[in-house]
Amino acid sequence: MKLLIALHDVTPAFERETRALWDACQARGVIPALFVVPNWHGQWPLERHPKFIDWLRARAGDGADIFLHGERHDEDGTSRPWRDQLRALGRTAGEGEFLSLDDEEARCRIERGLAVLGDAGIRPVGFVAPAWLWQGHTRRIIDALGLAFSEDDRAIYLHHRGIHLDSPVIRWSARTAARATFSVLAARVMTWFYQRHWLVRIALHPTDLQRPTTAESAFRTIDWWRVRRYPWSYSAL
């Protein structure tokens, strides 16, 4: 019975919140994975923040798995066909960067993101599309680029083994008061419903700290699972 925790949207744009979430996990004996965005919304290029890079390298030294989490995270410069509009309904407000990308553009963005992390001395173990929204071809690109892992909101994909592991994920949304209230309720329901599932994920976002309700629910949920599950890592899979 395993527990995986990941910090999404790791960027200098949310440095204070990211450090706070990391410290909260550490206080609970958990080393979360870090999902790094190389250039948040095209305005926060990682290479311009050497102190944050040093912090990331130190966390990797602590045992944190690093994932590439898109290139810029937002959907700037892309448009959604109606099918993708339906897929994203209620899930993200223009943050599904890989939702509507064709094969070539998806590969280019992943390669550029990997180059940024590589220049920073950071070696990611996998790729996770923002909002877990991507096209089917993206997984083939990830595998071809030699990355071991990817995931969506239903499963974790182990490319080096050619298998996937069904794994529910508990997460929150603090975008509006209504969404925050609903996500807190959803976290409770999912915790009850999946309490016997062998591999459960908790996804933390910097914006979870923007509202006391989501912050309290996130930490309470981690505490509940922490005493019942062994914190695991992607690499250990």
Which residue has tokens 């030294």?
61
- Asked if the structure places residue 157 within a domain, the reply is yes
The enclosing H or E element of 157 equals strand 155-158
Report how far residue 94's alpha carbon sits from residue 116's, in angstroms, rounded to the nearest whole number: 23
Per the structure, the complete domain to which residue 57 belongs is given by 2-231
Closest CA to 78 of 99, 63, 58: 99
pLDDT score of 96: 76
d(CA 125, CA 111): 14
**Rounded mean pLDDT of 154-170?**
96
Number of independent structural domains in the chain: 1
| Average model confidence (pLDDT) across the chain | 93
Q: Among 41-50, 83-92, 128-137, which range has the highest average pLDDT?
A: 41-50
How high is the pLDDT of residue 85? 61
Any domain includes 88: yes
Q: Is residue 237 part of a domain?
A: no
pLDDT of residue 86: 58
The token pair that represents 195 in the structure block: 């309490």
pLDDT at 87: 64
Tally of residues, the chain:
237
The predicted structure's pLDDT at residue 89? 58
Tell me the per-residue pLDDT of 176-216, one tens digit each, with 9 for 90 and over: 999 999 999 999 999 999 999 999 999 999 999 999 999 99
Residue 4 to residues 9, 55, 101, 136, 199: CA-CA distances in angstroms? 16, 21, 28, 24, 7
The count of C-alpha atoms lying within 13 angstroms of the C-alpha of 153, restricted to the half-sphere facing its C-beta, is 11
* Cα 119 from Cα 96, distance rounded (Å): 25
Q: Which band of pLDDT confidence, cut at 50, 70 and 90, is reported for residue 81?
A: low
Above 90 in pLDDT, residue 94? no
Nearest to 161 by CA among 148, 152, 150: 148
Range of lowest pLDDT (14-28, 65-79, 160-174, 175-189): 65-79
**Mean per-residue pLDDT for 146-169?**
96
Instruction: Examine residue 149 and state whether it is found in any structural domain, yes or no.
Output: yes
In a domain, 236, yes or no: no
Residue 61 exposed, middle or buried by CB count within 10 Å (0-12, 13-18, 19+): exposed
Region 91-106 average pLDDT? 84
pTM attached to this predicted model = 0.95
| Within a domain: 11 | yes
What per-residue confidence (pLDDT) applies to 93? 74
Which residues in 145-154 are b (16+ Cβ under 10 Å) and which e? eebbbbbbee
Percent of the chain predicted with pLDDT > 70: 94
Out of 32-46, 93-107, 134-148, the most confident range is: 32-46
Residue with tokens 């933390």: 204
What's 83's domain CATH number?
3.20.20.370
